[in-house]
Structure formats: structure tokens, C-alpha cells
């Protein structure tokens, strides 16, 4: 007897995916994310741009400035715009505990509250580091580090914590150096240093940019993270070999749908998105490369939609 997503209480979001008969044709697809591209709208138009493009960009820039005025007021709007531009876009990230705190730290900087922004960025960096160790440690009970971390509730030694995560191969490329650089800034800023008064804005900006880099590389979708299949433009899917990666299991799988290459997306009345998919893709062995090719070349008429479901219960069996 075949087991399909129709047999699972939560369908593509259920924990029973290892039992699916067509699991080789499915991959985990994370679909919730957070980003802010406002700073890109505030750049001046390029002199070489087409006049129509310049006009459209200028209109977009004015709308962005009006939005900033509503949020931060008009008294020091020039500084607000400058800080927003210097801060740069908030990189795309999966939704997790860090998103609202990251946004608060960024808003503090834009509003010229540089010390709160600096402290918040450093504190959030340490919070992310702690979450990673605490959330992942039970996957590594046989590790030599486990006895050093399993009883602790928090960690303030960034060198040690990042070393443990690196040995567990839990960090994406380039994340540990960013953590250590942010940690140095934290130690210099949180503990008393007279120089902080002179470098407050620069330090806050540096801390937020380091934090953004950490989030982008570790929690992002488009930074060449090793767990994502290559060659699937506009979407990310977990490689079959990485489905049991501890970071993937703890952070990405719970925020993913287990779908085939013909899945569709539907927006719900509350603004959230949900997956639509075929019940059964049949007995097919599909490598990651096969999945990527099928996704790139899929027939739009066969992509699952609400209309397709209403007209015919989709099944690939």
C-alpha cells in the first residue's frame, strides 16, 4: 500500500515524510523570508540611465522617503535617509527568532540612536551564537565538545562557541570570521572604552553590517549555502544529502514544504503563503540534478494551482 501526502495529517508540512512512497521525487522547499530593499530605492538615478527609468526610479525614491517620514518624522529626514542608505539592504533571511530583533537594531541606527543600535547588534550576535549551540548540541552527543556544553544555559566566549560550531560543521562559509569580528567590536564597545564616543556611528554601522553578513550567510537563501540545490532560479530546495544536516533539521525543515517539482504556491487571506502539490509523483528515483532540471523545465500548465485542484484532484500516480 502506497503512502502519500494525502495520508499525512499536515500534508507537505507533516513529520511523516520518511514514510512517503514518492519521497525520492520530493525536496524540502523553505518559503518564509524577511528582507528590506528600501536603501536601494534611495540611490540617485544613474546619469546613463534611460529617461523613463530615471523617472520611475525618482518616483520610487520619493515614495520611499515619504515612508521614512511617516516612520521617523520629518525633522531630521536628511540624516534618516543617509543612515538608511549607508546601512544598506537587509539581506533575505528565513524567518526565525532573530528577525524582529534585527529590525529593531536597524531602526535604532536609522533614527540616530547609535549606541542602542551598537549594543543591540552585538547582543543579537551573541544571542544567535547561543541559539546555534543550544539548538544543535543534542545532534552531537558523541562529540568531544558535548560534555562541555550540554549542562550550560548560555555562552559568552565567542571563540569557544564558534570553534565548537565549526568542528560540528554547523556554520556556513565565512560565518565564523564575521562572528569573531563582531565579538571584538562587542568587547570594545560593551566594556568601557573612552574611544567609543568618537567612533559611535562608525562602530554601530560596522556591527550592523557584520550582523547582516552573519544572518545572510547562515540563514539566507541566496548565498551559496552548501545545503541548497544549485540551478533552481527563484526558489531554493534542500539537497537530499543534507536533509539530515543538524542545522537544516533544526532551522530549515520546520519552515519548509516537502514538495515535488510541479508544486504551486497560494496566498491565503491572512497574507501568508501555502504550498499546493500533487498527491503522488510515482516511483521515480530523482537526483538533485534531475530535480533542478525538472524544475527549470516544468510546464506552467502542469504547475499545481487552486483551479487545477478544483477541476481535478491532482495526482501523478
Q: Domain holding 189: CATH number? A: 1.20.120
Whether 317 is in a domain gets the answer no
Look at residue 302 in the predicted model and tell me its pLDDT.
95
Last residue of a domain, one of 170, 185, 219: 219
Last residue of a domain, one of 200, 219, 238: 219
Look at residue 316 in the predicted model and tell me its pLDDT.
58
What the block records as the C-alpha cell of 13 is 508540512
Give the Cα separation of 224 and 230 in Å (integer). 8
Look at residue 163 in the predicted model and tell me its pLDDT.
96
Look at residue 314 in the predicted model and tell me its pLDDT.
60
Look at residue 317 in the predicted model and tell me its pLDDT.
43
Look at residue 308 in the predicted model and tell me its pLDDT.
87
Give the Cα separation of 120 and 123 in Å (integer). 5
Question: What's the rounded mean pLDDT across residues 216-232?
Answer: 90
Whether residue 151 sits in one domain with residue 241: no
Whether residue 98 sits in one domain with residue 44: no
Mean predicted lDDT score pLDDT of the chain: 92
Residue 52 has pLDDT above 50, yes or no: yes
The SS3 assignment for 100 reads: helix
Predicted confidence (pLDDT) per residue in 242-258, tens digit: 999 999 999 999 999 99
Predicted confidence (pLDDT) per residue in 7-34, tens digit: 999 999 998 888 899 999 999 999 888 8
Whether 250 is in a domain gets the answer yes
Look at residue 237 in the predicted model and tell me its pLDDT.
96
Whether residue 123 sits in one domain with residue 26: no
Burial class (CB in 10 A: 0-12, 13-18, 19+), 91: buried
Look at residue 190 in the predicted model and tell me its pLDDT.
84
Last residue of a domain, one of 197, 219, 241: 219
Predicted confidence (pLDDT) per residue in 102-136, tens digit: 999 999 999 999 999 999 999 999 999 999 999 99
Whether 58 is in a domain gets the answer yes
Whether 43 is in a domain gets the answer yes
Whether residue 96 sits in one domain with residue 137: yes
Question: What is the domain extent for residue 208?
Answer: 89-219
β-partners of residue 309 are: none
Residue 177 has pLDDT above 70, yes or no: yes
Between 86 and 50, the more confident residue is 86
Whether residue 55 sits in one domain with residue 21: no
Whether residue 103 sits in one domain with residue 119: yes
Look at residue 201 in the predicted model and tell me its pLDDT.
96
Look at residue 14 in the predicted model and tell me its pLDDT.
92
pLDDT band at 221 (very low <50, low <70, confident <90, very high): confident
Whether 316 is in a domain gets the answer no
- Residues 6 or more apart from 147 whose CB is under 8 A from it? none
Residue 49 has pLDDT above 80, yes or no: yes
Whether residue 204 sits in one domain with residue 248: no
Look at residue 313 in the predicted model and tell me its pLDDT.
61
Look at residue 164 in the predicted model and tell me its pLDDT.
95
Residue 315 has pLDDT above 70, yes or no: no
Look at residue 1 in the predicted model and tell me its pLDDT.
83
Give the Cα separation of 230 and 251 in Å (integer). 20
Whether 61 is in a domain gets the answer yes
What's the pTM value of the predicted model, to 2 decimals? 0.90
Whether 163 is in a domain gets the answer yes
CA 62 to chain centre: 29
Q: How big is the CA angle at 239 (ends 236 and 245), to the nearest 5 degrees?
A: 110
| High-pLDDT (> 70) share of the chain, % | 98
Domains in the chain: how many in total? 3
Amino acid at each position: 500500500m502506497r503512502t502519500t501526502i494525502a495520508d499525512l495529517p499536515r500534508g507537505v508540512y507533516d513529520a511523516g515524510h520518511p514514510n512517503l512512497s514518492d519521497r525520492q521525487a520530493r525536496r524540502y522547499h523553505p518559503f518564509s523570508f524577511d528582507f528590506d530593499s528600501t536603501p536601494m530605492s534611495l540611490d540617485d538615478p544613474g546619469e546613463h540611465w534611460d529617461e523613463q527609468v530615471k523617472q520611475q526610479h525618482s518616483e520610487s525614491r520619493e515614495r520611499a522617503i515619504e515612508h521614512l517620514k511617516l516612520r521617523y518624522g520629518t525633522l531630521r529626514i536628511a540624516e534618516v535617509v543617509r543612515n538608511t542608505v549607508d546601512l544598506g539592504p537587509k539581506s533575505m533571511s528565513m524567518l526565525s527568532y532573530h528577525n524582529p530583533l534585527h529590525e529593531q537594531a536597524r531602526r535604532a541606527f536609522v533614527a540616530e540612536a547609535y549606541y542602542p543600535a551598537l549594543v543591540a547588534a552585538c547582543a543579537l550576535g551573541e544571542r544567535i551564537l547561543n541559539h546555534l549551540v543550544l539548538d544543535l548540541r543534542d545532534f552531537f552527543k558523541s562529540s568531544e565538545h558535548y560534555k562541555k556544553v550540554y549542562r550550560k544555559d548560555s555562552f559568552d566566549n565567542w571563540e569557544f562557541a564558534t570553534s565548537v560550531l565549526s568542528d560540528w560543521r554547523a556554520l556556513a562559509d565565512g560565518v565564523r570570521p564575521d562572528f569573531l569580528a563582531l565579538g571584538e567590536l562587542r568587547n570594545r564597545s560593551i566594556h568601557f572604552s573612552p574611544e567609543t564616543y568618537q567612533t559611535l556611528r562608525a562602530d554601530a554601522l560596522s556591527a550592523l553590517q557584520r550582523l547582516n553578513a552573519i544572518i545572510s550567510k547562515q540563514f539566507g537563501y541566496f548565498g551559496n549555502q552548501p545545503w541548497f540545490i544549485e540551478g533552481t532560479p527563484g526558489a531554493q530546495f534542500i539537497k537530499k544529502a543534507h536533509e539530515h544536516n543538524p542545522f537544516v533539521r533544526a532551522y530549515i525543515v520546520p519552515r519548509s514544504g516537502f514538495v515535488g517539482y510541479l508544486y504551486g504556491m497560494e496566498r491565503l487571506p491572512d497574507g501568508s503563503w501555502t504550498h499546493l502539490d500533487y498527491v503522488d509523483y510515482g516511483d521515480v528515483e530523482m537526483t538533485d540534478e534531475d530535480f533542478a532540471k525538472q524544475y527549470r523545465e516544468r510546464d506552467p500548465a502542469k504547475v499545481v494551482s487552486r483551479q487545477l485542484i478544483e477541476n481535478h484532484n491532482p495526482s501523478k500516480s
